[in-house]
Amino acid sequence: MSILVDKETRVVVQGTTGREGTFHTKQMLDYGTVVAAGVTPGKGGRIVEGVPVFNTINEAMEKEGINVSCIFVPPPFAADAIMEAASSGIAVIVCITEGIPTLDMVKVTAFLKDREAVLIGPNCPGIITPGETKVGIMPGPIHKTGHIGVISRSGTLTYEVVDQLTRAGLGQSTCIGIGGDPIGGTTFIDHLKRFKEDPQTAGVVLIGEIGGSAEEEAAEYVRNEFEKPVIAFIAGQTAPQGKRMGHAGAIISGGKGKAEDKIMALEKAGITVAHNLGRLGKTALEVFK
């Protein structure tokens, strides 16, 4: 099993005719993902990497039976793309776009409140179930089918951790990049709940970073509700206060969001925290043996 996406997933790429959309459409196809359609308003009728392009999500859904969206739409239009996908009944929406205005995401959050669509991102690498499908920009070859779930706020750190897990012989059930913006579609807890119910997932790696309180909230959930072993790593341990470090959400302000506070909360919840990223694979072997 897996969570959210599998070999039955049929993907529509919103913004497929753009440079990034075209490139990653090919990468997903090469991995084995069923990219059934693309959408770019005004460019319906084109073919990109063998994939038919439509003007609207509704048209693509009617013709190709899509159920997952991957968004490469430029920031000023990305919120509308998310809401179009959600209003059309798309089950899982993966928004790769970074730089979406915060007020736009406030509107998106309100729009999604009473809908069942799951939004991953924005500003994220996407989601992959190794050996079955990938929706996003993750490098496929480093992943291996297995029993460890990965949830991360950082794209590049996800790749580093996954590579270490694979080299240690620990395959992954599903890997999810939730994004590093202040307002995102899903949280650590949302996906921990899914991994809790997934019999294929034997343990989880959480990759957090400074800023916000998502890691502390996840720690509390693990303490009270999650019985599978968890490893965590927190990026930004040497970040100066008041400086934004890469992600819009990675900023320490008002005395909150510090790495040491997150680490303390995680360890109090019984979670093994890897203090040295370079040893995470070895730590995983000890915890998930």
Whats the size of the chain, residue-wise?
289
CB 71 within 8 Å of CB 96: yes
Strand 68-71 and strand 10-14: the pairing is parallel
Task: Let me know the angle formed at the C-alpha of 122 by 40 and 134, rounded to the nearest 5 degrees.
Answer: 75
Report the relative pairing of strands 133-136 and 203-209 from DSSP bridges: unpaired
Distance, in Å, from the CA atom of 66 to the CA atom of 11, rounded to the nearest integer, reads 6
> Radius of gyration over alpha carbons of the chain, in Å?
18
Tokens representing 37? 């359609």
Active site residue: 24, 143, 191, 247, which one?
247
The residue with tokens 């003007």 is: 55
Element (H, E) at 156: helix 155-167
Instruction: Look up 247 and say whether it is catalytic.
Output: yes
Question: 143 near 160, Cβ under 8 Å?
Answer: no
Give the active site residues.
247
